[in-house]
Amino acid sequence: MLLKKQILTVLFLFLIISAAACAGCLNEGEEDHDHDHDAEGDHDHDHDAEGDHDHDHDAEGIHDHDHDHGDPDASYVPPDPEKMKDVASGKAILAAVSVVPESEFVEKVGGDRVVVITMIPPGAGHTYDPSPVQLADLAKADIYFSLDSGEVFEDRYLETFRSSNPDMKIVSTSAGMDVKLKNGTADPHIWMSPAKAAVMVENICSGLISVDPENADYYTANKEAYLKELKELDDDMKASLAGKEGKAIIVYHPAWGHFTDEFGLRQIAIELDGKEPTAKSLASLIRTAREENVRVVFVQEQLSKTAAIAISEETGAEVVTLDPLAKDYVSNMKKTAEIMAEYMDWTEIHEQCRITWKERNDQKGKAAYFGDRRSWDYFQEHRFLMRRSRTSMSAVFGWLTDQRSPFGMSVWLSAVPVRF
């Protein structure tokens, strides 16, 4: 009698999960909801045959980054007063840059011979307005390292900076590189490619030598040491992202174009021309996320997450924060590549689950139901418990909630039915 009750319990649970699996996994042709909206003036984020986001650009192919985002409370932190004394005495050069990653490059090359001020402070956006304190410090600067890549802030203020400090030398860190992406559009975030970051470092070294030739050997030695770090970074990132060519990433702000170009990925941006997506374009993004089987949406801490959360709720993708403006460039970029690779691996596993569901009679595909061999072995262990133990319900839910199951409940629903 007890054995009969156990069998009935397991069969009942099996039927419930099978029904859920059938409802969630077999409607592949119907899994996308039709989110079309007819609001007039809505911009449709259409994608081409390769899944790339179709942004409107001006006649020169330059993306209009007229953004009104960023932390309104972002504030400039002046240099250490002691270091400014070195600048005043001629022991150090005062260099100005536009963005935080540039400050890292200048400090690596300039060492203790350079004091750096950053005109767009951490957390600020492209339309940041410099404070009077910043302008006062900038008036003392010996050199300004510009991105010269279509950065809105520089387009608005660089000539003003030049007029207020005629003796300040302005050096383009993008000299000698193509700031346009492979699709022909310009992206100001040139530092997102380690290869282009190396070009920036070369230009920074040349600029420092031009205003302080007596310390040329010092700058050159520092440059060579940092270029070696960048080469190791590039190699590490290529290793992390090997085999991911052609994969798509969904990001809120289109800051990853040079990154995706270098590593053979595709960027799909939520934001268009600095604006939140409309209902129609958001529906298009949701469909694309499903078609591409994208399991993660990347956002920036200082930007809106509303649209990313909406995509997550509709597709089950996770929202993950990355920072393209972090100062610790090498460790930040390495971590970024590792995080992206990890989520792309889970995307591949999830796709395997879907494919294996179609071929569920193929006994060799059972391990793919559970993402990896470890999870399959763990399921087999719990299947044995369900057969032999009086606590079969506990065994089932133990497996569902255990961290060794890569997707938890979703893997179970993707996998069932499997014969006990």
Question: Which domains does the chain carry?
Answer: 2-29+359-415 (no CATH), 65-275+294-310+318-338 (3.40.50.1980)
Place of tokens 């997707």: 407
Point out which residues pair with 383 in neighbouring strands: none
Quickly state the pLDDT bin for 147 (edges 50, 70, 90): very high
pLDDT recorded at residue 276: 84
Instruction: Look at residue 110 in the predicted model and tell me its pLDDT.
Output: 98
CB under 8 Å to 88, separation ≥6 — which residues? Answer: none
On the question of pLDDT at 355 being above 50, the answer is no
Least confident of 37-51, 220-234, 297-311: 37-51
The CA distances from residue 189 to 1, 107, 193, 259, 266, in Å, are 70, 19, 9, 9, 16
- For the four alpha carbons of 335, 72, 304 and 319, in that order, the dihedral sign comes to positive
pLDDT at 404 over 70: no
In the predicted model, what is the mean pLDDT of the chain? 75
Spatial distance between the Cα atoms of 114 and 144, rounded to a whole number of angstroms? 12
CB 131 within 8 A of CB 178: no
The band of 296, judged by pLDDT with boundaries at 50, 70 and 90, is confident
- Please, which pLDDT band fits residue 8 given cuts at 50, 70 and 90? low
Rounded distance, CA 13 to CA 351, Å?
26
Taking residues 69-91, what's their average pLDDT? Answer: 80
Nearest partner of 186 among 195, 173, 199, 177, judged by Cα? 177
Q: Quick one: pLDDT at residue 293?
A: 82
Task: Give me the half-sphere count of Cα atoms (radius 13 Å) on the Cβ side of residue 275.
Answer: 15
- Closest among 300, 293, 294, 319 to 308, alpha carbons compared: 319
Rounded-to-integer distance, Cα 45 and Cα 263, Å: 24
**pLDDT of 86 higher than 60:** yes
Across 273-381, the runs of DSSP E, i.e. the strands, are 296-299, 318-321
Residue 373: count of CB within 10 angstroms of its CB = 10
Single-letter amino acid, residue 254: P
Over residues 13-68, the pLDDT tens digits come to 555 555 544 444 434 444 444 434 443 344 444 444 343 444 443 433 334 434 44
* Per-residue model confidence (pLDDT) at position 186: 85
Q: How confident is the model at residue 306 (pLDDT cuts 50, 70, 90)?
A: confident
- With tokens 């499903």, the residue in question is 290
Laid out side by side, the sheet with 93-97 consists of 114-118, 93-97, 143-146, 169-172
Average pLDDT of the residues in 273-283: 85
In 122-177, beta strands by DSSP E: 143-146, 169-172
What average pLDDT does the segment 303-324 reach?
87
Give the pLDDT score at 192: 96
The pLDDT value recorded for residue 63 is 40
pTM: 0.68
Q: Does 343 score more than 60 pLDDT? A: yes
- Least confident range from 15-29, 318-332, 345-359: namely 15-29
State yes or no: pLDDT of 4 exceeds 70: no
| Residue 176 reports pLDDT greater than 80 | yes
* Cα torsion 194, 200, 205, 208: sign: negative
DSSP 42: P
Q: Read off the tokens for 72.
A: 């309104």
Give the pLDDT confidence score for residue 166 in this predicted structure: 96
Q: How far apart are CA 216 and CA 367, in angstroms?
A: 60
Where would I find the H helices in 170-215? 194-211
* Own/partner long-range contacts of 202-207 (Cβ < 8 Å, ≥24 apart): 202/176, 202/227, 203/145, 203/171, 203/172, 203/173, 203/174, 203/175, 203/176, 204/102, 204/105, 204/106, 204/109, 204/110, 204/145, 204/171, 204/173, 205/109, 206/171, 207/143, 207/145, 207/169, 207/171
Share of the chain above pLDDT 90, in %: 47
User: Pick the residue with more confidence: 248 or 359?
Assistant: 248
Q: What percent of the chain clears pLDDT 70, i.e. is strictly above it?
A: 65
Residues shown for the chain: 420
